[in-house]
Amino acid sequence: VSMSFTLPELPYDKAALEPYISANTLNFHYDKHHKGYLNKLNELVENTDYQHMEIEELVTKVHGNNNTVPIFNNVAQVWNHTFYWNSMKKNGGGKPKDDGLLAKKIQDDIGGFDKFCEEFSNYGVSQFGSGWVWL
């Protein structure tokens, strides 16, 4: 199988997110899940016009087409995992600055940061599968 799509490098060391995500857990999801979706995607698009597209273009091209469901499922997971890795960083997260635009939007739309955390957590635990929710 020719490799049209490649596994992106992680933006940090595999132990960087401990104690929240262990190096073992990160390694499993990166080297097994993410890489597995990528390998399957490459098999599915080999010798097609899809193999030369960018990930984002491929997602939109195959979305909603009953003939490309397996391609969509795999490319969507590749995109999702890449987004996931790039959404985190060592010492990241936390409450936004009180005087910032994000804090104001959270206050105005949701009723404050504590309420946001509660609702966001509820969405996460009610998700089928991994429970990962992104805004």
- Secondary structure in 3-state letters for 50-61: HHHCCHHHHHHH
**The pLDDT value given to residue 130:** 62
Separation CA 124–CA 134 (nearest Å): 9
Please list the pLDDT of the chain residue by residue as tens digits (135 residues). Answer: 456 899 999 999 999 999 999 999 999 999 999 999 999 999 999 999 999 999 999 999 999 999 999 999 999 999 999 999 999 999 888 899 999 999 999 999 999 999 999 999 888 888 776 667 777
Decide which of 1.10.1200.10, 3.90.650.10, 1.10.620.20, 1.10.287.990 is the CATH code for 10-93. Answer: 1.10.287.990
Work out the angle at residue 20's Cα, subtended by the Cα atoms of residues 37 and 124, and round it to the nearest 5 degrees.
65
Distance CA 75, CA 60 (A): 10
Looking at residue 1, its pLDDT comes to: 47
- Output the pLDDT for position 22: 97
Q: Where in the chain is the domain with CATH 1.10.287.990?
A: 10-93
- Reference 43, options 9, 75, 67; nearest CA is 75
Instruction: Give the model confidence (pLDDT) of 43-57 as tens digits.
Output: 999 999 999 999 999
pLDDT of residue 133: 78
Residue with tokens 């404050």: 112
Give the contacts of 68 (CB within 8 A, at least 6 positions apart). 61, 62
Burial class (CB in 10 A: 0-12, 13-18, 19+), 7: middle
H or E, element range at 41: helix 35-45
pTM for this structure? 0.80
